Amino acid sequence: MARVVTEHVRQIGKHFLSERMLTELSNIRTRHAMRCSFLDAFLECLLDKHEGRYGNRTYLALPLLELLLDDQHAEVSPDRLSTLLVSDAIRFELETAGGSPEPPSRGRPDPVTLRKRLRHAVRFVVADRSGPDGVDLEDGVDQLPRPPATDAGRWFDVTVQPVYVLHDEYFFIRLLQTHEMLFTAIATDIRTAIGALRDGQLEAGVERIDHATAVFERAAILFRIIATMRADQFSTFRQFTQGASAIQSEQYKRFEILCGLPPAPRLHSPAFTSVPAVRDEAENAAHDTITQAYLDLRGAGAFGQAEWTLLDAALGRLEARHQRWKSTHRSLAVRMLGDAHGSGYTDGVPYLTKCVKNRLFWQLSAQ
């Protein structure tokens, strides 16, 4: 059922589902979803606009992807899932270029754009070393990894529900989902690094911070892929994505609050009012951060100068990487959005310009 419905959604766009169909899907949810968490998550995402709950989380089908991550049999880490998502986007581009059912009116990319898109996407996939043998595309796209053939893995194919019918929205959704997975991995690294520092294991902490920086580097490739999106396609389908924005990305903000508490003006701005659960975590007295661990351990004279130098350098690398990420993101928004407002209801580029000035480790800059 989910596959047939998804096929239909891709034919007309989620924004344009008929009232009759939405009512039928609501009834199915009421009758059957209790019995299957995947079906429940699938319908939660599909009915978001109909039920007035539309947002980044449901646009990107994150409830379904999270169930896949949690599935014991599938054994898929966020890193690995990011590779599966980009691999799927590559397959989609190749299949449609080869004359799949998608009609030409959807605006396929020209060969030069397609080649560029695929080149960066393949680079992203090849950079994965989390699979059993890494990924080697020398032997062709058959080598692209696929989701596991488990019950959970079978739901992977229905995690793209475009709001409209233009070609580029498919890979746009896949890349934003990938972003969520990478930031899930980065947040875990930072959480582990805090634990290591608190345990007095500075080198282990530095290793995890450097791993987060490396994942960030991989995340930067996403912008090169997304830069091949046609601005006219983007401005057309974004008419129907108002209310869903990556400003609601919980994992990105979670990463930020694990590095250090943001200054009060940012914590009370749309950056955090858009992610109330993460803001609550930040305001919880038990919440710990790299910054707090650093200040406590420095005060207690826990490490020697050589060790502090190591840690300072690792934090500097992470900060620099984040700064580069923000600048590239802003440049992309200038190109794709111009003067328009963001779909998360900020003033768009001016909001992102202010974000570039923020620092993760602002409380440590005087150390």
Site residues (vs ligand HEM, CB under 6 A): 175-176, 179, 222, 226, 234, 245-247, 249, 252, 271, 329, 332-333, 336-337, 342-346, 348, 351-352, 355
State in angstroms the smallest separation of the CB of 118 from ligand HEM.
17
What is the biggest distance separating any 2 CA atoms in the chain, rounded to whole angstroms?
69
Closer to ligand HEM at the Cβ: 147 or 342? Answer: 342
Closer to ligand HEM at the Cβ: 67 or 333? Answer: 333
Q: How many CA atoms lie less than 13 Å away from 344 in the CB half-sphere?
A: 20
Contact status, residue 47 vs residue 25, Cβ threshold 8 Å? yes
SS3 category, 325: helix
State in angstroms the smallest separation of the CB of 222 from ligand HEM.
5
Contact status, residue 92 vs residue 200, Cβ threshold 8 Å? no
How far is 317 from 209, CA to CA, in rounded Å?
9
State in angstroms the smallest separation of the CB of 355 from ligand HEM.
4
How far is 9 from 15, CA to CA, in rounded Å?
9
Q: Write the CA distances from 104 to 109, 144, 166, integer angstroms.
A: 10, 26, 10
Closer to ligand HEM at the Cβ: 231 or 313? Answer: 231
Closer to ligand HEM at the Cβ: 67 or 355? Answer: 355
State in angstroms the smallest separation of the CB of 22 from ligand HEM.
26
Closer to ligand HEM at the Cβ: 213 or 346? Answer: 346
How far is 84 from 156, CA to CA, in rounded Å?
9
Closer to ligand HEM at the Cβ: 204 or 334? Answer: 334
Tell me, what DSSP letter sits at residue 50? T
How far is 193 from 292, CA to CA, in rounded Å?
12
State in angstroms the smallest separation of the CB of 292 from ligand HEM.
21
Q: Write the CA distances from 29 to 41, 53, 236, 249, integer angstroms.
A: 10, 16, 31, 26
State in angstroms the smallest separation of the CB of 95 from ligand HEM.
23
Residues contacting 70, CB < 8 A, separation 6+: none
Q: Write the CA distances from 249 to 156, 192, 358, integer angstroms.
A: 20, 21, 17
State in angstroms the smallest separation of the CB of 272 from ligand HEM.
8
Closer to ligand HEM at the Cβ: 152 or 247? Answer: 247
Q: How many CA atoms lie less than 13 Å away from 124 in the CB half-sphere?
A: 34
Closer to ligand HEM at the Cβ: 196 or 247? Answer: 247
Contact status, residue 271 vs residue 342, Cβ threshold 8 Å? no
Closest chain position to ligand HEM (CB): 342
Selection from 169, 230, 206 nearest residue 317 by Cα: 206
Selection from 259, 127, 237, 235 nearest residue 187 by Cα: 259
State in angstroms the smallest separation of the CB of 31 from ligand HEM.
36
Closer to ligand HEM at the Cβ: 42 or 88? Answer: 88
State in angstroms the smallest separation of the CB of 274 from ligand HEM.
7
State in angstroms the smallest separation of the CB of 62 from ligand HEM.
14
Contact status, residue 180 vs residue 119, Cβ threshold 8 Å? no
Closer to ligand HEM at the Cβ: 153 or 243? Answer: 243
